[in-house]
């Protein structure tokens, strides 16, 4: 049995996720999200959807991007 990288649980049905040519093992999506999902540069929440990117920074939404000084980012036109 493989061990989850996040919680250490030994699980007989782990998932393996490859990101940037590195393989990771988890026992749940929750653990995978905690380890791999980017965080918003403004509010620090995990970005689970598309989010938005400005330069090297990721934001969960246009509101957070705007609060960080990126007024050009909008959710809808």
Condensed to tens digits (0 to 9), the pLDDT of residues 30-63 reads: 999 999 999 999 999 999 998 999 999 999 999 9
Band (75; pLDDT cuts 50, 70, 90)? confident
- Tell me how far CA of residue 58 lies from CA of 1, 22, 33, in angstroms: 35, 21, 15
Round to whole Å and give the CA distance between 43 and 49: 15
For the entire predicted model, the pTM comes to 0.80
**Gyration radius of the chain over CA positions:** 16
The angle subtended at Cα 18 by Cα 16 and Cα 22, nearest 5°, is: 115
């Amino acid at each position: 049995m493989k061990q989850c990288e996040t919680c250490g649980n030994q699980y007989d049905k782990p998932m393996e996720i490859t990101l940037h040519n590195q393989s990771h093992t988890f026992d749940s999506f929750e653990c995978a999200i905690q380890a791999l999902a980017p965080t918003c540069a403004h509010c620090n929440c995990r970005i689970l959807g598309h989010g938005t990117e400005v330069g090297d920074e990721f934001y969960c939404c246009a509101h957070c991007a705007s609060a960080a000084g990126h007024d050009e980012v909008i959710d809808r036109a």
